[in-house]
Structure 1
Amino acid sequence: MSNIKERVLQIAESKKISKTDYFQDLGLSYANFKGMQKNTGLNSDAVAIILSKYPDINPAWLIIGEGSMYRKEAAVVRDEGIPYQEPIVINEIEHTLIDALKLVISSQEKTISSLEKQLAILENEVHGLKEK
């Protein structure tokens, strides 16, 4: 399964956008998406930027890797052979961003809970060592 930064790279590949143009348009540094940096997380501001610039991207796919990359699997093709893409209204984009941020918050809450448990275990170990 890919991580979020790998999925961000997949968007550029799918849309056939050069990485230089893609990251410049997003206001992000490509250096954060290669090497060891590729394995680190992505902040919620970056997620919001990506989803606002590319509203056809499925937020659940981007954030947690579930579902398909695009919101709608198949676009309807008009007689001219040009794929039809239904216009996305601002309210839908706002709801998409809110849903994406809720997913980010949920993920961060789980991380915090896990870290709190680890901290409690370590505090107990330190307390036990002090008593010896």
Structure 2
Amino acid sequence: MDEKYTYIKERLLYYAKNQGFKIESFLDSIGMTYGSFKGKAKEGSLNSSAIAEIYTKYTDLNIGWLLTGNGEMLITNNTTEAVQENSGIDYKELAEARKETIESQKETITTLKDKNILLEKNSEKSEKQIAFLESELDRLKQELANTTRQGGNRAAG
């Protein structure tokens, strides 16, 4: 690419146009609007949610280029191999580890939901027991009051 774009948003628009995407549809797909890319707003940064959407949906876009303007805009097999060699990161292993983490988190969420349901049921039982005990206490107080009154009446009579 001969042209240098100073801002990340300029590079993102260049990518979208270069790939033949309709700009507003493209921006909508990453949770942004064109208003964020006009005037002074184009000098601002992208939010992390947008970057995550770009990374997962547009896998041919070289995120390094998007962020810095350096390197090639599009990822090719050569680009991927060069990045992997330079970084020393095994991306397949990293992706597998992330999948395992996600599965583990899903299991934890399911377990916590089940525990939450049990706690809610136990809470309802406890509330019923408390209500029963309070009514039993009121009944016993009333009985005690009646007994005390009857004992006082006998003593007086």
Post-superposition offset of 1:73: 7.7
- Identify the structure with bigger relative contact order (alpha carbons < 8 Å, sequence gap 6+): 1
Matched ranges for 1:1-132 at <5 A:
1-2=4-5, 3-72=7-76, 91=92, 94=95
The separation in 2 between residues aligned to 1:33 and 1:6, in whole angstroms, is 8
Alignment gaps of 5+ in structure 1: 75-89, 96-132
Identity percentage over the alignment? 35
Greater helix proportion:
2
Write the deviation string for residues 38-66 of structure 1: whole angstroms up to 9, x where unpaired.
01111222111111110111111011111
Shift >2 Å, 4+ stretches? 90-95
TM-score when normalising by structure 2: 0.45
Q: Between Structure 1 and Structure 2, whose CA radius of gyration is higher?
A: 2
Q: Using a 3 Å threshold, how does the CA distance of structure 1 residues 72 and 47 change in structure 2: closer, same or farther?
A: same
Alignment gaps of 5+ in structure 2: 79-90, 97-157
Aligned residue-pair number: 80
The separation in 1 between residues aligned to 2:94 and 2:16, in whole angstroms, is 20
The separation in 1 between residues aligned to 2:94 and 2:9, in whole angstroms, is 21
